[in-house]
Amino acid sequence: MTTPAVSPTGFDLTPPTDAERAELEAGLTREEADVLLHHGTEAPFCGGLLDNKENGVYCCRLCGLPLFRAKTKFESGTGWPSFWAPFDESHVVGVRDTSYGMVRIETRCARCDSHQGHVFPDGPPPTRLRYCINSVSLAFVADGEPLPDPLRRGDDLAMAPLGS
């Protein structure tokens, strides 16, 4: 048995087993599956989290891993939720994407490898990065609420309290 990979913030990054993945994917809507599993993109200015101003954490819709804190969210004018930094750099993986005749960096969840969006070098200080993320890729958790833990790994206890 291998030792699970644990992020600096204490979250288990071990990928889901095939059985766990099948269970997680069974709960997705058609639009969520298109984006998370098939690298699709939701229409701009339509996502349910675009105008969310609450304090909390944005987690991966598929596996529940915290990806972004509300305090790093900003209005980019692009039509998708945008963040200037991840919750924990080890929670978001960048992959070179050359689809549609462009060269971009796709962002994926480090635990389940689900597509989240893209990161661009035109964000605000201090990072100058813009993580442009699909709303359907995320599950928002308000401050004080338990984190989703669909893999039953005790992630809801990894950081308490999380804060925004």
Query: Omega before 66 cis (within 30°)?
Result: no
DSSP per-residue codes, 35-53: HHHH---PPTT--TTTT--
Among candidate residues 59, 60, 109, 132, the one labeled active-site is: 132
Please count the CA atoms within 13 angstroms of the CA of 141 that sit on its side-chain side: 23
For 38, the enclosing helix (H) or strand (E) is helix 30-38
Decide if 59 is catalytic. Answer: no
**Residue 20 in tokens:** 């766990």
Catalytic residue set: 132
